[in-house]
Amino acid sequence: MSKYEHLDLTKLLADWPCTSGQVNVRVITGRDDRPKLQLRIELGILQMEIEGRPDGRQPEGFTTYLDYQKDRMQRYLQQSGTSAGFVLSPDECRQLREEAIQFYHRYVGLFAMGDYTSVIRDTQHNLEVFNLARDHAASEDDREVLERFRPAVITMRSRAEAEMALKEQDVKTAVKALNRGLEEMKTLFEEAGAPEQYEYANEVMLLRGMRDTLVPRLPSSQRVELEERLQAALDAENYELAAILRDELRLLD
């Protein structure tokens, strides 16, 4: 008998088969009596801590590597009076990206389980990673590589915010969360110099579809508020918000 035979995972995987087309996730209690999130993928099982960094490590003594780099930047700011010269090396950017991947796997599982508060926490972590790399990476590639994932993370965060509101039967707050996501997405495409792509982006269509199913459920009193907000947006020449509000009013007809 091989000394490694007891490590064979065949039975464990057979007892929890991977079901195609859905997120296979569960929470178990670890030997340390802490809850662990398990995500079944085609080739095995990912096990993650639910709090802190998913792999349970504490880089440089901090809860996350992002926290460590934010602390470094804060100390740089205190010494120099500006964060403009704070720079992330290619290796530091790599470590941030690797941590973001861990958080991605966890928030996908948490969303499937309906833990929307934790999804918002983890998506916000990744957006902060994107911001830090965009603003301070030494390499142009490192500044740009994560930006293509930003729409998907904004979408997940907005969906989680909306679902959390719907748990409380608060349709108004859910719609506002989706609209915030759409406004943020529109700004993102405009800043990227591709405003024409906004209308056809999958993330935009997903948020609009979710919002459009909710708007008819708003109480009739919301029409007056929407009309007032529309007029205020027009007065402020905020035509992007005005277009969103017109869509909401049309759905109430």
pLDDT value, residue 218: 72
Whether 225 has a pLDDT exceeding 80, the answer reads no
Summarize pLDDT for 112-122 with one digit per residue, the tens. 999 999 999 99
Among residues of the chain, what percentage have pLDDT more than 90? 68
| Reported confidence tier of residue 241, pLDDT bands at 50, 70, 90 | confident
* CB 101, CB 145: distance < 8 Å: no
Give, for 73, the enclosing helix (H) or strand (E): helix 65-80
Whether 253 has a pLDDT exceeding 60, the answer reads no
pLDDT value, residue 204: 94
Whether 222 has a pLDDT exceeding 80, the answer reads no
The number of CA neighbours under 13 Å toward the Cβ of 124 is: 9
Domain ranges of the chain: 169-253
Q: How much is the pTM?
A: 0.83
Summarize pLDDT for 2-20 with one digit per residue, the tens. 667 778 888 888 999 888 8
Per-residue exposure over 3-37, b if at least 16 CB sit within 10 Å of its own CB, e if not: eeeeeeeeeeeeeeeeeeeeebbeeeeeeeeeebb
Query: What does the mean pLDDT of the chain come to?
Result: 90
Whether 35 has a pLDDT exceeding 80, the answer reads yes
